[in-house]
Structure 1
Amino acid sequence: MFTIEHEFDATVVTLVDDGDAPLREDVIISAFADCVTVTQIDPRTDMPVVVTLSMEQLRDLSHALDLPEGAYRLRKDE
C-alpha cells in the first residue's frame, strides 16, 4: 500500500509494508525541486534515518533498475 500527498514544496509518497511478517517501518519519499529524501524510522533507536539523493543520483538509480550488473556512466543527454 502507498499514499501520495502534494504539499507546498514537495510531493510525498509513503510506502506501507503490508506484506508478510516481519513487517518494516513505513518509507517516506519526499520529492523536492532539487533533491529527493528517503526517510525511515530505525526500530532499534526509534529515530528517523534520512538519505538525500540529488536529481542526478535519482536519474542514475532509475536507469540502474533496468540494467544488468556492471559499472556505467550516463551521458549528459540521457
Structure 2
Amino acid sequence: MFTIEHDFDATVVTLVDEGSPHLEEDVKIQAFEDCYTVEQWDPHSRTMQKITFSHTQLRELASALDLPEGSYRFVPEDEAGKG
C-alpha cells in the first residue's frame, strides 16, 4: 500500500509494508524541486535514517532496477543523437 500527498514544497509518497510475516518500517519519499529524500525509521538505533538523491541519481536507480549486471551511463535524450 502507498499514499501520495502534495505539500506546498514537496510531493510525499509513503510506502507501507503489509502482508508479510516480517514487516519493515514505512518508507517516506519526498520529491522537492532540487532533490528527493528517502526516510525510514530504524528501530535498532531509534533514529530516522535519511538518504538524499539528486534527480539524476533517482532516475538512474529506477533504470537500474530493470537492467542486467553491468556498468551503465545515463545519456540524456537531448544528447543521445549527438556525435
TM-score (norm 2): 0.87
> Aligned with 1:45: secondary structure?
coil
Q: How does 1:26-45 map to 2 (within 5 A)?
A: 26-45=26-45
Which structure is larger by alpha-carbon Rg, 1 or 2?
2
Aligned pairs for 1:12-31 within 5 A: 12-31=12-31
Distance in 2 between the 1:75 and 1:2 partners? 31
Q: What percentage of residue pairs aligned between the two structures are identical?
A: 59
Which residue of structure 1 aligns with residue 64 of structure 2?
64
Aligned length: 78
Higher strand share: 1
Question: After the TM superposition, which parts of structure 1 deviate over 6 Å for at least 4 consecutive aligned residues?
Answer: none
Q: Residue 72 of structure 1: SS of its match in structure 2?
A: coil
Match of 1:48 in 2: 48
- Partner Cα separation in structure 1 for residue 70 and residue 7 of structure 2: 37
CA RMSD of superposed structures (Å):
1.2
SS at match of 1:57: helix
